[in-house]
Structure 1
Amino acid sequence: MATTPGFLTDWPWKHLGSFKYMLLAPWGMQSIYSVATKGKNEWDYTNLIVIPLLVWRAFHNQLWISFSRHRTAKGNNRILDRSIEFEQVDRETNWDDQILLTGILFYVANSILPNGSFLPIWKIEGIIITIVLHIGPVEYIYYWLHRALHHHYLYSRYHSHHHSSIVTEPITSVTHPFAEHLAYFCLFAIPIFGPVLTGTASLASVVGYFTYIDLMNNMGHCNFEFIPKWVFSICPPLKYMMYTPSFHSLHHTHFRTNYSLFMPFYDYIHGTMDKSSDAVYETSLTRQEDNPEVVHLTHLTTPESIFHLQIGFASVASRPQNSKWYIWFIRPLTTWPMMLNFIYGRTFVVERNNFEKLKLQTWVIPRFSVQYSIKWQGQVINNLVEEAILEAEDRGAKILSLGLLNQSWELNRSGALYIKTNPKLNIKVVDGSSLAVAIVINSIPKGTTEVLFRGSLSKTAYAIVSALCQKGIQVSAFYEFERLKLSFRSQSEIALSKSYTERVWIVGDGLSKEEQLKAPKGTLFIPYSQFPLKKARKDAFYCHTPALVAPPALENLHSCENWLPRRVMSAWRVAGILHGLEGYNVHECGETMFDVDKIWDDALKHGFRLLQFASN
């Protein structure tokens, strides 16, 4: 929102939420009706192309968003090192409003302009007129409009909304109040309706111009430089006809320079070009890829989880992963990446963070959870994990933490397999089990005297039971009772539960809905598993999987980690960070467990805190 919101700041369909696209329904139905009732020679392709054009623009923008976020996370050619927070993501979630506005105005114009209907596919005269009108009136008028928007009166009421984003993303380019977009549309309408009025317009000039606008807008708001120097060496005039990401980035940091739309020519002739433009451009081009000190290695969960990654849909990634009605519409898009992953897949970077001088990155194994249960995929996955460990070491990382099923005992004995096959590893492999234990223990309400234990008996489970027994808390169990008794022969606190009366349950994978329904009202379920428990009760409380709230000093955290809330990180990810901060310099994998009390104290010392109790 602008500093002092002015007239027509909000979009008129803001209250409609996700149903705003229903505004196009009448025109869409009219187009379908015309196709169904008229002959092919009578179809108005100008009308029919509106919806495909809107879909193309959305797809084009999303490609830039994913590409930009991936490149920015890697670090090569990055321009600014500042972080992006959830506030910016929320502010920019309505980037599709301007696409919707385009569709509405196109339908209206098509119905009232005589020359706007039945356009041919191609007319070279119209394309030339479009180019000339953009270079002349559009670029020049925009330059002075942009300068006017930086006047205090208009800036505080409108343009400050756009400049709230210091570190730009492709979608920052279209994050403006409604009134500002109306002004831009009137300006960009000149090259579109000019050929229409002269009878030289074509579908190619219309679609091509909008594609050009989106291309340059998205490119200029990327936070990395990628236009090579040889482009300007081969054709020196391009320096004045095409801006670069670093050129426009300076406008977002210095505010009073580099006002041009896409052509810096007008900044040169009016003396508003930033003097550091060339230096920033060259510095960004030579910047190398980041060398992280701590890497967290996770993987995809469900086919839809790729859209929840930071390089996926920004608004979806900024919220915990759960079932949404609109996910059903994009599920067909998940088929091709699934097939591609079975044939080929390589670990990729999805996120970068900074914390107390540590450079952190999150890498993703391109495999889904279901693939981890397929036997013939086991060796493939292990190879991918091992390659990621070796690559992280080559890039100077000191710690690599294993997330989700990358530390499965059945797969690699909680990471011990990689230590065995690579005995000279300098990088330390961390499974985070000790911190997971600490979080579970400290999630139990004070004064609790007994708990019910239900879940698979992993090393984390045994460590939890041992810690509870040492605290004098009775651990009751059903199926696990005999094995626990054999493992803790001297522990009198382990008992066979005769009923489901315990009010605190420590649970792992496999707790059924029927078992949950047997728990008394108000039961607190505390999972120690990697994956969340499927909730079957509304009168009970469910803790999240072991996780901690990140301190404010942890930067660039603007996406949710799987199903966890904002700014909450899994125990396994935090454990790697703590190993890096404290310099533990030991592996924590296989049967090895770190000191539970020490790692808990270290987590609190560095500002991590327990997630507020539970959700029901």
Structure 2
Amino acid sequence: MIMYNNLGLFNFSYPFFIGVKMASKPGILTNWPWHPLGSFKWVIVTPWVAHSIYSFIVKDSSEKDLGYFLIFPYMMVRMLHDQIWITLSRYRTAKGNNRIVDKGIEFEQVDRESNWDDQILFNAIIFYMGIMYVPEASQLPLWKTDGVVMTVLLHAGPVEFLYYWLHRALHHHFLYSRYHSHHHSSIVTEPITSVIHPFAEHIAYFLLFAIPLYTTVITKTASIASFAGYVAYIDFMNNLGHCNFEFIPKAVFSIFPFLKYIMYTPTFHSLHHTQFRTNYSLFMPIYDYIYGTVDKTTDTLYETSLKRDEASPDVVHLTHLTTPESIYHLRLGFSSLASKPQTSTWYFYLMWPITFWSVLVTWFYGRTFVLERNAFKMLNLQSWVIPRFHVQYLFEWQREKLNKFVQEAILEAELRKVKVLSLGLSNQANLLNKYGELYMKSYPQLKIKIVDGSSLAVAIVLNNIPKDASQVLFCGKLNKVSYAIANALCERGTKITTLYKDDYDNLQLRLPTEFRESLVFPESSTTKIWLVGDQLNEAEQQKAPKGSLFIPFSQFPPKKLRKDCFYLSTPAMVTPPSLVNVHSCENWLPRRVMSAWRIAGILHALEDWNINECGDVMFSIEKVWQASLYHGFRPLKTNFPLA
């Protein structure tokens, strides 16, 4: 049973989840035949692709088969079409306006739906084989009006009718538990959810969709336009029905009432994934109306979703792009890449034109955008992204523009009554805005609290340092966090050394007089605990003894150059299970791990701390550490020998 409340949200009761997780007893032909090939599955079509290109180039114009040649390019267009829907859906659902279902997506769903291109590969193989074995399918003209009309009529008639009853049959417990439950594991749908089915189901669906295609072929009325248009229609409607935001204006159905029966909406199909035994139709709801399976809340949910305003967050984390390739790892980019820590992949080199174009666009134009939303203990959380890359923060002539971006984001957050805004990565750089102090001085009347997260970063680093460590070494660029760590270590009685005399002198100036005797500057050091900041180079790493432990206190991780040493993550913690809609990784961090600077903003809102942590202000290290543990955040496990 599912209850619909007056906010346009769904409340899921326990029995429903038992139905969804009816566990799957995989039937025959569940897995795709090329499943063992993994990401190399597309090599299957390379012989056909090579032959189609060769034939198109070599043969005379009268013998060229344009349809045969266009199969693979059109498959790529289909993938681009799906990706555009994925990006649009994730962006709109993150903002919240017109969102249908509020429940979050998790990594399990992303992993399960990562093979969404299998059906495109399957279609490509079928089309190639069709041209080979069905003579009438070759040398198709570009357009034939009678074939287009026949395709429309055959889809509206037998295809929609047969699909309705096939779909109802798939909800019978025998077929459901063996096949269709895989699709219904996704309560909150994404566009690509539409094609996540076992292989056997796709065979059945293709046989249905082949009715218009094969009929027009054998009647010699088929054309490239009718084939491409029909496939595009199926893709478009599939993506529309699973996008989880409503966007079809009510005026459409007011002006053309009959459309209610021949065109479904995202809310119409969303109810099938939540109410389960209603709204079975493919794209035309007419058969649900005929057979009385339309959900009673269809119209109400449609109107409620259309009126739903953009979400108003309680906490905003302001971050930015890192490397040029990071655009692909964004939650709005490739979903499977976003669900893994950011790494460099070989095929990014093949995508350099897109990467270069994105760099140019962000360099000259762009505005801060919403990346993702989360929810935790009644707090609505959002991440906003400044469309600038890390390298741009290194240029002095870019600082005025960057500060303007950050300032505009703060003012927008203030206008939307956000409680806390945390500054991530280089948005809090000392040279840029002195850890956010610049904005507090410019706008002292701000009600929003600005947090740089330094205190939690310090607490995490201190808890990563072995309690029995007698000496540590600071290297890389020192900052506010490093000075606070040094002060806390001196209170412990831990000795501190540095690689360079300048760093030693800076620490001398920053530490209280009673702690300066804890500073030592030997010409050589055997300490194996290295606390590292930004700009740690290879030569400095080579000076570390074998088996050393590198503990970053920086926003960006050091490059791992030593295989005989150990590297910890940048300051971060594991998020509690109750923090929902976590299905993408934060930069280079593992799954469900969040940076200290981002967590700090959440803690400030949860505890309602009435303080800005920016500039030289450092919040209570122990207090913020205990608050993080109280609210369910946990340290990352660190297993390393120090012998």
What TM bracket, shorter-length normalisation? over 0.9
The structural deviation recorded for 1:615 is 8.3
Structure 2 counterpart of 1:93: 114
1:487 equivalent in alignment to 2:515: no
Could you tell me which of 7, 26, 36 is aligned with 1:5?
Answer: 26
1:40 equivalent in alignment to 2:61: yes
**Is 1:542–1:614's contact at 8 Å kept on the other side of the alignment?**
no
Amino acid at match of 2:178: R
Could you tell me which of 411, 430, 433 is aligned with 1:390?
Answer: 411
Identity of aligned residues (%): 61
Amino acid at match of 2:514: S
The structural deviation recorded for 1:325 is 1.5
Residue 585 of structure 1 aligns to a residue whose secondary structure is coil
Residue 495 of structure 1 aligns to a residue whose secondary structure is coil
The structural deviation recorded for 1:447 is 1.1
1:463 equivalent in alignment to 2:484: yes
1:289 equivalent in alignment to 2:321: no
Instruction: Give the Cα separation in 2 of the matches to 1:259 and 1:297.
Output: 42
The structural deviation recorded for 1:585 is 1.5
1:15 equivalent in alignment to 2:15: no
Amino acid at match of 2:41: K
Instruction: Give the Cα separation in 2 of the matches to 1:370 and 1:48.
Output: 42
Q: State the Cα deviation string for residues 313-350 of structure 1 (Å, max 9, x = none).
A: 10000000011112222232122222221222111001
Instruction: Return closer, same or farther for 1:447/1:57 CA change in 2, 3 Å cut-off.
Output: same
1:550 equivalent in alignment to 2:571: no
Structure 1 gaps of 5+ residues are none
Instruction: Give the Cα separation in 2 of the matches to 1:438 and 1:136.
Output: 66
Instruction: Give the Cα separation in 2 of the matches to 1:401 and 1:615.
Output: 32
Instruction: Give the Cα separation in 1 of the matches to 2:231 and 2:66.
Output: 17
Structure 2 counterpart of 1:84: 105
Q: State the Cα deviation string for residues 364-421 of structure 1 (Å, max 9, x = none).
A: 0011111112233211111111111111111110100000010011111111111111
1:420 equivalent in alignment to 2:441: yes
Amino acid at match of 1:484: L
Amino acid at match of 1:341: T
Instruction: Give the Cα separation in 2 of the matches to 1:130 and 1:526.
Output: 64
Structure 1 counterpart of 2:12: none
Spell out the pairing of 1:46-57 with structure 2 (5 A cutoff). 46-57=67-78
Amino acid at match of 1:587: N
Instruction: Give the Cα separation in 1 of the matches to 2:57 and 2:619.
Output: 70
Q: State the Cα deviation string for residues 423-475 of structure 1 (Å, max 9, x = none).
A: 11010110001110110000012211111111222111110110111111111
Instruction: Give the Cα separation in 1 of the matches to 2:234 and 2:384.
Output: 33
Instruction: Give the Cα separation in 2 of the matches to 1:5 and 1:108.
Output: 28
Structure 1 counterpart of 2:558: 533
The structural deviation recorded for 1:503 is 1.2
Amino acid at match of 1:196: V
Residue 49 of structure 1 aligns to a residue whose secondary structure is helix
Q: State the Cα deviation string for residues 126-164 of structure 1 (Å, max 9, x = none).
A: 100110010001000000000000000000000000000
Q: State the Cα deviation string for residues 227-283 of structure 1 (Å, max 9, x = none).
A: 110000110000000000111011001111000000000000001110110011111
Instruction: Give the Cα separation in 1 of the matches to 2:212 and 2:508.
Output: 80
Instruction: Return closer, same or farther for 1:468/1:377 CA change in 2, 3 Å cut-off.
Output: same
1:584 equivalent in alignment to 2:609: yes
Instruction: Give the Cα separation in 1 of the matches to 2:640 and 2:231.
Output: 46
Structure 2 counterpart of 1:436: 457
Pick which of 515-524 and 404-413 moved more: 515-524
Structure 2 counterpart of 1:307: 328
Spell out the pairing of 1:190-589 with structure 2 (5 A cutoff). 190-479=211-500, 480-488=503-511, 489-491=513-515, 492-589=517-614
Instruction: Give the Cα separation in 1 of the matches to 2:467 and 2:425.
Output: 29
Instruction: Give the Cα separation in 2 of the matches to 1:211 and 1:245.
Output: 17
**Is 1:220–1:243's contact at 8 Å kept on the other side of the alignment?**
yes
Structure 2 counterpart of 1:185: 206
Could you tell me which of 152, 158, 166 is aligned with 1:131?
Answer: 152
The structural deviation recorded for 1:518 is 2.4
**Is 1:578–1:603's contact at 8 Å kept on the other side of the alignment?**
yes
Q: State the Cα deviation string for residues 54-97 of structure 1 (Å, max 9, x = none).
A: 00100000000000000000000111110100000000000000
Instruction: Give the Cα separation in 1 of the matches to 2:61 and 2:442.
Output: 67
CA-atom RMSD in angstroms: 1.2
Structure 2 gaps of 5+ residues are 1-20
**Is 1:559–1:566's contact at 8 Å kept on the other side of the alignment?**
yes
Amino acid at match of 1:555: V
The structural deviation recorded for 1:114 is 1.0
Instruction: Give the Cα separation in 1 of the matches to 2:189 and 2:332.
Output: 15
Amino acid at match of 1:529: S
Structure 2 counterpart of 1:120: 141
Instruction: Return closer, same or farther for 1:313/1:487 CA change in 2, 3 Å cut-off.
Output: same
**Is 1:372–1:381's contact at 8 Å kept on the other side of the alignment?**
yes
Amino acid at match of 2:623: K
Instruction: Give the Cα separation in 2 of the matches to 1:534 and 1:457.
Output: 17
**Is 2:56–2:66's contact at 8 Å kept on the other side of the alignment?**
no
Amino acid at match of 1:567: R
Instruction: Give the Cα separation in 2 of the matches to 1:490 and 1:111.
Output: 86
**Is 1:296–1:361's contact at 8 Å kept on the other side of the alignment?**
yes
Amino acid at match of 1:485: Q
The structural deviation recorded for 1:41 is 3.1
Q: TM-score, normalised by structure 1?
A: 0.98
**Is 1:543–1:614's contact at 8 Å kept on the other side of the alignment?**
no
Instruction: Give the Cα separation in 1 of the matches to 2:408 and 2:74.
Output: 42
Q: How many correspondences in the alignment? A: 616
